[in-house]
């Protein structure tokens, strides 16, 4: 996927960033270009059919809608329900990481993106077992998943990007912010916030996003950490990001979606579709709705030879081709009702085709 062009530095030189196995944090005051800066990189990823995106935008509704169809997981909205869905998305990424560790080998890069992550860290909701989604207690679910991805994702190509506004110790826990390899900040209010955004060392070395001018320097990003090529004496680089407006982003996304659909058609397994749908049905174990991650795990348990190489994307592709796509937007779940209908429709079609006419009765 190479280096993503991100902007120009103060000398006018083009600056690009390597997205390979780097967790990333983008901070900054509201309305200065966080979403634009992160979305430009996500569009770069979208253009590569060999990479996957899972996206949660905890503000919504604008900004990320054009990734519908591109992102296998897309959560858009500000409520506790959306935070819960975003947390489950991260936890599913952790399950996917564990699967990758088990099967070994190389993997499609998976980029997990959370815009407005402060909404998750500040979420007061608790699950039925009384575990909080937000906060930073030992049992906090969102932070717990973030830390697992930070600690172990890199080796199996699962990468997390978070964007958050107006950082504080509450809405951006130190355990989270220090887990990033790339830290980029638009204008922030104070030097203390700059340290939260970029780390003590970068600010001590002269990085000063608090000195950017609010509003006037929209899109100007101080980037620290790895990823951008820097001179030996640089601890941070100020980049004015190339601005991709909504209309242009939508156009790029449309083209990316077409390229992805073509690539998917070429790679969707065609052999033995009867067995796959039946195997998926068996993996539901009679339950009405089962998370795709659980279905995958059961498929592997049932027939490791055939299903070990499958990813969530394979399962989604097979179900979509059969007319029973998993439900998107919150947790991805396979529906027994949809699947049965798809099998009935397929069998009717096959019988009809074989008999050379419509079926009766």
Ligand X SMILES: Nc1ncnc2c1ncn2[C@@H]1O[C@H](COP(=O)(O)OP(=O)(O)OP(=O)(O)O)[C@@H](O)[C@H]1O
Find which of ligand X, Mg ion, none residue 99 binds, CB within 5 to 8 Å per kind: none
Subset of 162-201 contacting ligand X (CB under 6 A): 165
Identified binder of ligand X from the candidate list 24, 27, 35, 41, rule CB under 6 A: 35
* 248 interacts with ligand X by CB under 6 A: no
Identified binder of ligand X from the candidate list 28, 109, 199, 225, rule CB under 6 A: 28
Q: Which stretch binds Mg ion (CB under 5 A): 35-43, 85-93, 201-209, 223-231?
A: 35-43
Find which of ligand X, Mg ion, none residue 336 binds, CB within 5 to 8 Å per kind: none
In angstroms, what is the minimal distance from the CB of 39 to Mg ion?
9
- Minimal CA–CA distance to 270: which of 313, 321, 311? 321
Residue closest to Mg ion (Cβ): 35
Please tell me the count of residues contacting ligand X according to CB under 6 A.
Answer: 14
Q: Is 304 in contact with 103 (CB distance < 8 Å)?
A: no
Find which of Mg ion, ligand X, none residue 218 binds, CB within 5 to 8 Å per kind: ligand X
Subset of 192-211 contacting Mg ion (CB under 5 A): none
Give whole-number Cα distances, 194 to 197, 202, 229, 233, 264, in Å.
5, 9, 21, 20, 43
| Tokens at 338, concatenated | 């949809």
* 238 interacts with Mg ion by CB under 5 A: no
Q: Which stretch binds ligand X (CB under 6 A): 29-37, 229-237, 282-290, 326-334?
A: 29-37
Q: Which stretch binds Mg ion (CB under 5 A): 1-9, 27-35, 72-80, 224-232?
A: 27-35
Minimum CB distance to ligand X smaller for 11 or for 270: 11
Minimum CB distance to ligand X smaller for 40 or for 299: 40
Find which of Mg ion, ligand X, none residue 33 binds, CB within 5 to 8 Å per kind: ligand X
Identified binder of ligand X from the candidate list 21, 78, 125, 243, rule CB under 6 A: 243
Identified binder of ligand X from the candidate list 14, 31, 275, 302, rule CB under 6 A: 31
Q: Which stretch binds ligand X (CB under 6 A): 23-31, 99-107, 206-214, 314-322?
A: 23-31
Q: Is 216 in contact with 231 (CB distance < 8 Å)?
A: no
Subset of 200-219 contacting ligand X (CB under 6 A): 218-219
Find which of Mg ion, ligand X, none residue 108 binds, CB within 5 to 8 Å per kind: none
* 241 interacts with ligand X by CB under 6 A: yes
Helices 80-103 and 141-152 pack at an angle, to 10 degrees, of 30
Minimum CB distance to Mg ion smaller for 23 or for 34: 34
Q: How far apart are CA 177 and CA 146, in angstroms?
A: 10
In angstroms, what is the minimal distance from the CB of 75 to ligand X?
16
Distance of CA 186 to the CA centre of its chain: 22
Minimum CB distance to Mg ion smaller for 217 or for 234: 217
Minimum CB distance to ligand X smaller for 63 or for 153: 63
Identified binder of Mg ion from the candidate list 27, 35, 193, 293, rule CB under 5 A: 35
| Tokens at 75, concatenated | 């959560």
* Positions that interact with ligand X (CB under 6 A): 28, 30-36, 59, 165, 218-219, 241, 243
């Amino acid at each position: 996927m190479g280096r993503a062009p991100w902007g120009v530095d103060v000398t006018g030189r083009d600056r690009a960033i390597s997205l390979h196995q780097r967790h990333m944090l983008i901070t900054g005051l509201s309305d200065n270009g966080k979403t634009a800066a992160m979305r430009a990189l996500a569009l770069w990823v979208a253009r590569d059919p060999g990479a996957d995106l899972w996206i949660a935008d905890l503000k919504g509704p604008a900004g990320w809608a054009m990734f519908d169809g591109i992102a296998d997981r897309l959560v858009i909205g500000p409520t506790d329900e959306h935070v819960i869905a975003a947390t489950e998305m991260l936890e599913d990424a952790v399950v996917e990481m564990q699967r990758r560790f088990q099967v070994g080998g190389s993997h499609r890069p998976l980029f997990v993106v959370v815009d407005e992550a402060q909404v998750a860290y500040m979420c007061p909701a608790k699950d039925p077992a009384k575990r909080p989604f937000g906060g930073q207690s030992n049992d906090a679910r969102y932070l717990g998943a973030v830390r697992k991805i930070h600690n172990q994702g890199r080796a199996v190509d699962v990468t997390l990007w978070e964007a958050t506004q107006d950082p504080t110790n509450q809405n951006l826990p130190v355990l989270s912010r220090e887990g990033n390899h790339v830290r980029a900040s638009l204008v922030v209010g104070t030097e203390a916030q700059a340290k939260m955004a970029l780390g003590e060392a970068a600010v001590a070395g002269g990085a000063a996003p608090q000195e950017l001018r609010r509003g006037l320097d929209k899109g100007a990003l101080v980037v620290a950490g790895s990823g951008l090529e820097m001179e030996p004496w640089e601890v941070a680089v100020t980049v004015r990001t190339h601005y991709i407006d909504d209309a242009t982003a939508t156009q790029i996304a449309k083209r990316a979606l077409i390229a992805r659909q073509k690539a998917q058609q070429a790679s969707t397994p065609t052999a033995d579709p009867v067995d796959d749908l039946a195997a998926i049905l068996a993996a539901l174990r009679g339950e009405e709705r089962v998370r795709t991650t659980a279905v995958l795990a059961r498929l592997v348990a049932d027939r490791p030879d055939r299903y070990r190489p499958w990813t969530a994307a394979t399962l989604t592709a097979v179900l979509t081709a059969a007319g029973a796509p998993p439900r998107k937007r919150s947790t991805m779940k396979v529906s027994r009702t949809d699947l049965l209908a798809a099998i009935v429709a397929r069998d009717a079609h096959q019988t009809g085709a074989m008999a050379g006419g419509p079926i009766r009765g």
